[in-house]
């Protein structure tokens, strides 16, 4: 399978857009080349639930018409875009990789989709995911698993595995994912691409099918840090349609990428470097710390004690919110309906047939945690632990500008290797804490493990400090490029 556009060197989204805006390449040509790569590789990888060939060609022609007329189509002109299939796209099936949304076509676009299209990006398909974004391997999709382009016998991570695989395979230079407990960063690390979770509220969630509303956030997956910065500038900013949207304009990111890390204080989170983290992953994080130090940062260890309780807290809060959000899928309003003699029996039959095992597991966990007599003991206590995590991060950021940690405890694992739910949940031990805190974090590819598969390192930042975070990320990217070239 080709991992890039046939007959050419893979280009970043920013370079494609620059060429299209200058009239050096046509958007139609760009889209056709990427559709050819998809046609060749998709049967093996299964990154998409749907490929939007005709819509993409029409959109590309419109971009070219604007360029010919002397207009500027935007900073992402002609860039093929892959959209996680839990983002609403008007008139296009949006399934969340679940049977329960069978036949549903949203009557509107998610805000992020609207903003990217207005910036000239061209959606080419809806990507596969763990059902309702519940999983860390993209094995839980009702439509079959996505395969890691680096090793098709291994998972791409999850839940945004389709989006990460699409970028890694050269199907699209830009994809969107959602991150509730690591679902952008973990697959980015396993597939060797950049994955960015913004500050909670930085990007509108309007049109994202909800999993856990106090944790969900949308972000980009790209092949370069600069592309992630461009994409975040486009999708960020206040949206009155999202009540949790931060009332601030989109941040300036691209213009600050070259400011470097000289003088920045960066802490390596000790609690995320110990037991359970593979030795090859630890070595790459240590190498990243050395690279940041060589670039002028002041690097030291830092303790964030409460992160050790992140997994326990998350797996009460997230299922509780999921049980509430997924109550709407009742066979009455939209999606699948399994007929039965009574309404109650129809509800039960529809949800039994429509939801997969992992979704059912989390609904039951959440319903139990919220039930009378158990609310204070479980959900209430988990929220108190969340507050401790927020406080411990705040304390760490009093002494450090940024933090550094692994993304995934291991490289990509074989299909079926983590069939036990608890073993699978441990895949997110390093990513969950920043979701609970609401802070931004980015996964940057930083070499390979002992098995030759990609490893990502995680740069974490205080709320709304994406610009500083990306300065460190691009230093790591440059350091990795020098390491590879020598």
Q: Which active-site residues does the annotation give?
A: 84, 159, 183
- CB hemisphere CA count around 450 (13 angstroms): 7
Residues paired with 458 in a beta bridge: 405, 443
Distance of CA 344 to the CA centre of its chain: 36
Torsion of CA 221, 158, 193, 57, to 10 degrees: -50
Report the C-alpha gap between 249 and 251 in whole angstroms. Answer: 6
Contacts for 17 with CB less than 8 Å, ≥ 6 apart: 74, 75, 76, 77, 78, 79, 120, 230
Distance of CA 480 to the CA centre of its chain: 22
Note the maximum CA span of the chain: 70
> Residue 396 in 3-state DSSP?
helix
Report the C-alpha gap between 75 and 343 in whole angstroms. Answer: 50
Report the C-alpha gap between 186 and 195 in whole angstroms. Answer: 8
Q: What are phi and psi of 422, to 5 degrees?
A: -65, -40
- Residue whose C-alpha is closest to residue 299's, from 329, 261, 268, 339: 268
- Residue whose C-alpha is closest to residue 91's, from 135, 46, 60, 58: 58
C-alpha dist (Å) from residue 20 to 42, 147, 151, 254, 343: 26, 31, 33, 19, 55
Task: Locate 299 and state its tokens.
Answer: 């690097």
225, 477 in Cβ contact below 8 A?
yes
Label residues 430-439 b or e (16+ Cβ within 10 Å = b): bbbbbbbbbb
- Residue whose C-alpha is closest to residue 317's, from 416, 211, 242, 388: 211
């Amino acid at each position: 399978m080709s991992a890039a556009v046939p007959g050419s060197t893979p280009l970043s989204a920013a370079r494609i857009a620059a060429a299209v805006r200058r009239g050096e390449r046509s958007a139609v040509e760009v889209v056709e080349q990427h559709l050819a790569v998809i046609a060749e590789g998709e049967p093996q990888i299964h990154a998409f639930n749907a490929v939007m060939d005709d819509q993409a060609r029409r959109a590309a022609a419109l971009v070219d018409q604007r360029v010919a007329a002397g207009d500027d189509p935007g900073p992402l002109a002609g860039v093929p875009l892959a959209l996680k299939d839990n983002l609403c796209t008007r008139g296009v099936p949006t399934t969340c990789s679940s049977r329960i949304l069978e036949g549903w076509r949203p009557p509107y676009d998610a805000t992020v989709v609207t903003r990217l299209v207005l910036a000239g990006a061209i959606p080419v398909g809806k990507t596969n995911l763990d059902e309702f974004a519940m999983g860390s391997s993209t094995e839980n999709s009702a439509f079959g698993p996505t395969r890691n382009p680096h090793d098709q016998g291994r998972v791409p991570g999850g839940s945004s595995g389709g989006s990460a695989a699409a970028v890694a395979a050269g199907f699209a230079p830009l994809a969107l994912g959602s991150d509730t407990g690591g679902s952008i960063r973990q697959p980015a690390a396993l597939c060797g691409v950049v994955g960015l979770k913004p500050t909670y509220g930085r990007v509108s969630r309007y049109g994202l099918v909800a999993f856990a509303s106090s944790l969900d956030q949308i972000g980009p997956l790209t092949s370069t840090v600069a592309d992630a910065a461009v994409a975040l500038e486009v999708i960020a900013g206040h949206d009155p349609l999202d009540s949790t949207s931060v009332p601030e304009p989109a941040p300036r990111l691209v213009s600050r990428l070259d400011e470097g890390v000289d003088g920045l204080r960066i802490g390596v989170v000790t609690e995320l470097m110990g037991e359970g983290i593979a030795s090859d992953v630890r070595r790459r994080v240590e190498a990243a710390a050395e690279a940041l130090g060589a670039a002028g940062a002041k690097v030291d260890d830092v303790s964030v004690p409460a992160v050790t309780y992140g997994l326990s807290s998350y797996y009460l809060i997230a299922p509780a919110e999921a049980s509430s959000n997924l109550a709407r899928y009742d066979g009455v309003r939209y999606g699948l309906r399994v007929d039965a003699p009574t309404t109650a029996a129809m509800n039960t039959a529809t949800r039994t047939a429509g939801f997969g095992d992992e979704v059912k597991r989390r609904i039951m966990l959440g319903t139990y945690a919220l039930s009378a007599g158990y609310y204070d003991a479980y959900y209430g206590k988990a929220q108190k632990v969340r507050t401790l995590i927020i406080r411990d991060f705040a304390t760490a950021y009093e002494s450090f500008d940024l933090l550094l940690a692994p993304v995934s405890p291991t490289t990509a694992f074989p299909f079926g290797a983590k069939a036990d739910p608890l073993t699978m949940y441990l895949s997110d031990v390093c990513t969950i804490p920043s979701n609970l805190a609401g802070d931004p974090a980015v996964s940057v590819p930083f070499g390979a493990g002992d098995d030759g598969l990609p490893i990502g390192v995680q740069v974490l930042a205080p709320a709304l400090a994406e610009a500083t975070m990306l300065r460190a990320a691009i230093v790591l990217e440059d350091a990795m490029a020098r390491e590879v070239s020598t």
